[in-house]
Each structure stands twice: as structure tokens, then as C-alpha cells.
Amino acid sequence: MNLFNQHKAAVVELYPIQEYILNELRETIRYHKRTVLMAGTGLGKTQIAIQIIKQALKKEKRCCFVCHRINLVEQTSKAFNIQGIMHGVIQGQHPDYFPDRPVQVCSIQTLAKRGQDDFDIFFFDEIQVFFKTHKDILDKNPDAFFIALSATPFTPGLGKYFTALCHPVPIKELIKQGILKRFDIYGPCQIDLSGVKIVAGDYKKDDLEKAADKPKLTADIIQTWLKFAKDRKTIVFSAGVAHSRHLEKEFLSHGIKAREINGYMRKDNTEFEIGANQIIEDFRNNEFQVIISVEMLVAGFDVTDVSCVVFATSTKSIMKFCQGVGRGLRKHPGLEDCLVLDHGGITERLGFPDEYEFYELDDGKHQESKNKKQEIPEKLPKVCPSCSFLKPAGVQKCPRCGFKPAFIQDVEVEEGTLEKLKRKNNRTYTKEEKQSWLNQLNTYCRDKGWKEGAASQRYKAKFSVWPNAMEKGNYETVGKEVRGFIQHQNIKYAYSKKKAS
């Protein structure tokens, strides 16, 4: 029996936007054996991978889809079954262990232990979580193709292992097309990016990170939620385990069903994931309204009727911010928007999560703090709350009375209210900037081999006038802003063409 021919035809059709992404991915992997596909939350990266796998099976190529969590292994296996992909599962003592099948869905931990990596194509799911095992698989299979998937491939150093980034559709475009929910953010104050430099049409990353640094949370988390979002299914990202449990008690005291889940309570990984999965399933089935997370629910979480995301913490990581907001953006019948309550001033520091244009992987060469020693603050003695004895630094149990307090993580909250944050959209262009746009459009259209006049048409689409007053025949390197605009135009065209057919 030829196992490569035992697969059924696809029973789930791709959306027009997914077909566009698939075509862009195919074009990229024609020239690159190690590609990262950046596609937003809810776009169906697994469905796109399935189409590549079906084509690979026709050429009798073996495929391996690698996940870093057990629940992602199960989700992927289920998606493969729906699409008629016969496959085996390499994960612990899984009942679907069929190693001879040409398609395997694997836990990266089990794959590493068994050393089974004789595949032609590897898919790495959620590659922003990059392990040494990923590197080992890459090193052992120099002739294989690798396609890594992520909504936020911002991990430092990924560019050392992958040669291309395929980023066909930004988040902003997905919201415009109605594929993701629109969102509003409520934060401590109006965003002020007046001092942030613009480089190649985008905010300079270093300036963004320095724009604000507010370690204190603003406004009472529970009261703010009751004011803005009491009827919404909600994810809360907290500052730590103790903070999570405190918030859980506060929600419960107000009659709101809430559960806490965290990434630090694991002993045996399998036992932990089974328990965590049950909490998530209960949340999915509306057993409770609010789920409170520490280092969880930022990847592979697909409860689509979430319509409020609360940041009861702060971060300087755009990856964590985008992943967190993304948990509330998946489309769901009857839900048009998601409310983001940003108590940590993250938006002020980083900007709106859909304003990041990302066109290259980090090669790890520009990490400013790489060789700098971090100054670690000295630990100080603490007063025992039971007997007032001054305990030595780092001592939990009081040497005098034996009292051992429950772990408490201090979270400072200052008085204030959250208000809806507004974007600065009234961008005006100087004549020099418009000339630069035309020059860049000339370069792009020339490199694509498009007919004469294509650059002028796209200039008119941007500025609503023909470039009659501009100098013709000049060229410049294509920047992020221009590339993003052309991307938007291409997607609109592909989408309208598909709908017309």
C-alpha cells in the first residue's frame, strides 16, 4: 500500500485571504529552504500548512509538524483529521502512534528523545518559542525544508536560523477585511509619541521603548472591569502568581465567576497540561466568565468568544503585548469588537499592537545589553509580620517565631481612571516625502517587471492625484511604509478578484 496516496480531498476551503498567503508562501519557499511565515491570530496557519503538506504528499515527501505543547499537538491532529490527512502522533504514549505514516504531528520534547527526524519538510509551530531542540533539528537536517509559523516571530536570533520572513498580511489589514475583530484600548492617558523618531516610515523601536516607563498600574482592576466590561468574557494577564490569586478572590467576592491559571504550577508536564486544558475547556464552555493568567494563554489559545483582554501588569515586550491582545481578536458570531484595558501603560510605551510593521527577522547582532552586566539590587532584610523580628535577607521562615508567610508579590496601584486611547492618524506629507514615495514605487514596480504606469497608478491610489508635479524616473530603496501600502493594494485586488469569481 502506498501511504502517500491514502489521503482524502480537502473538505475545508481556504478563505481568499488564506489563498493569498499560501501563494506568497509558495513564492518564498521557491528560493528559501528555511522560511518563517508570520500570520496573525485566527488566520489559520495550520490550514495553510495543510495545503503545503497535501502538495508534498503528491511528490512523496515526508512531513513533520512540530509543536511545543501537548494541547497544540491535539489541536493540530484534530485539524489534520478534519482535512483528511492520515498521520501519526509522536507524543508520549499517544494511541495514534503510527511511525510509518509519511505525515507526523510531534511534540518537540518526544521528538528530541526518540531522535526520529527523517523528514523532507518540517513545520515548527509557534516558533517565537525557540528551543535548543529546534536548533538541533535544523542542524541535523541541512537538506530539509523548514517552514516556521508564528503571529509574532520577534524572538532575538531567529534570523540566524531562518533566511526569509514571509509576512503577507499585517494585523491592520486583517481587521480591515473583517477577519479579526476591531479593538479599542483604554489606558491611563493619551498616547504621546511626539518625541519618537520616524525611520523609513515607521516608529523607531528604541525611541518607542523609552517613550514611557510606568512600573505602577493605574486604576483599580476590578472596578474598571465592572465599569467597562462586566458583560464580556475576559482574559486577565496578571503580574504574578500571588497577584493572580488575589484578583481571583476579588472577582469572586463581587459575584463574578473567575479562575486562575499559571505557568509555574507544573510538576509533571503532562499532569500540568491535562489540568490546564480542563480549566481552558471549562472557560470555553462558559463555566466561568474571567480567566486570570500568568505566563499562560499567549499561544495556541483559541476561545473565540473572548471580547475583553485586561493587562493587570506591564511589559516592554511587543511580542507579549501582541500575543495577549490577539487572544481577543478572533472572530465570533455576534461579537464585533474587543475591549483592551491596559492598566500598565503598555500602549503608551509600545504603541498600538497593529502599528508594528515587521519585515525582517532579528539576527541577534544588535542586542545592546548582550555583553553588559546587569546591576542586581542588593536584597534587604524584612520585618516578620507576626512578631516584628528583622529577618535576614532571603529568609522565608522567621527564625524567632517560625512564621512563614504565603508568597506575596507586591503590585503597586495608583489612583486614576482609564480612558479610550486615540491614534494619531492625521498624517500629512511634504512634497519631498511624496517624491520619495514615487521613487520607491518606481523601484518596486520595476523589480516586479510591471508595465509602465503601474507606479503612477499606485501613487494616485495613495494620494488621490496623479504624480504630474513630481520628477519622473527616480528610484529609491523601498521602505516599510511603502511596502505595507503596496501589500494592502495587492490584498484588496486578490480579495476582490476571488469574490468576483
CATH classification at residue 84: 3.40.50.300
Specify the number of domains making up the chain: 3
Rounded Cα–Cα distance for residues 482 and 284 (Å): 41
In terms of domains, do 92 and 113 share one?
yes
Q: Where are the beta strands (DSSP E) in 87-134?
A: 88-90, 103-107, 121-124
Per the domain annotation, does 99 fall within a domain?
yes
First vs last C-alpha separation in the chain: 39
**Which of 349, 421, 353, 411 minimizes the C-alpha distance to 221?**
411
Is the distance from CB of 136 to CB of 112 less than 8 angstroms? yes
Per the domain annotation, does 376 fall within a domain?
no
Backbone angles phi, psi at 121, to 5 degrees: -135, 130
Per the domain annotation, does 21 fall within a domain?
yes
Per the domain annotation, does 204 fall within a domain?
yes
pLDDT tens string, the chain, 501 residues long: the values are: 566 665 555 556 777 888 888 998 999 999 999 999 998 776 788 899 999 999 999 999 999 999 988 878 988 999 999 888 999 999 988 999 998 999 999 999 888 888 777 899 999 998 988 999 999 999 999 999 999 999 888 888 999 999 999 988 888 888 887 888 999 999 885 444 456 566 654 445 455 434 433 445 656 889 999 999 999 999 999 887 788 888 999 999 999 999 998 765 544 455 445 567 788 889 999 999 999 988 666 555 778 899 999 998 888 788 888 888 988 998 899 999 999 999 888 887 788 888 776 778 888 775 443 333 344 344 555 656 555 555 666 666 777 667 665 544 456 666 778 888 887 655 677 888 889 999 999 998 888 888 878 888 888 888 878 888 788 889 999 887 888 788 777 776 666 665 555
Q: Pick from 168, 186, 204: which residue ends a domain?
A: 168
- Is the backbone of residue 168 left (phi > 0), alpha (psi -120 to 50) or beta? alpha
CA 457 to chain centre: 34
In terms of domains, do 115 and 141 share one?
yes
In terms of domains, do 316 and 207 share one?
yes
Rounded Cα–Cα distance for residues 185 and 310 (Å): 10
Per the domain annotation, does 378 fall within a domain?
no
- What is the model's pLDDT at position 34? 96
pTM over 0.85: no
In terms of domains, do 178 and 155 share one?
no
In terms of domains, do 141 and 51 share one?
yes
In terms of domains, do 138 and 211 share one?
no
- What is the model's pLDDT at position 181? 92
Q: Pick from 109, 135, 168: which residue ends a domain?
A: 168
Whole-number Cα distances in Å, 152 to 6, 185, 213, 485, 501: 35, 20, 23, 20, 33
In terms of domains, do 449 and 473 share one?
yes
- What is the model's pLDDT at position 191? 40
Query: Any residues with CB less than 8 A from the CB of 377 and at least 6 apart, and which?
Result: none
Domain range for 237:
173-361+416-420
CA 422 to chain centre: 23
Place of cell 498580511: 169
Rounded Cα–Cα distance for residues 393 and 389 (Å): 12
Taking the CA of residue 351 as centre, how many other CA atoms within 13 Å lie in the half-sphere pointing to its CB? 22
- What is the model's pLDDT at position 500? 56
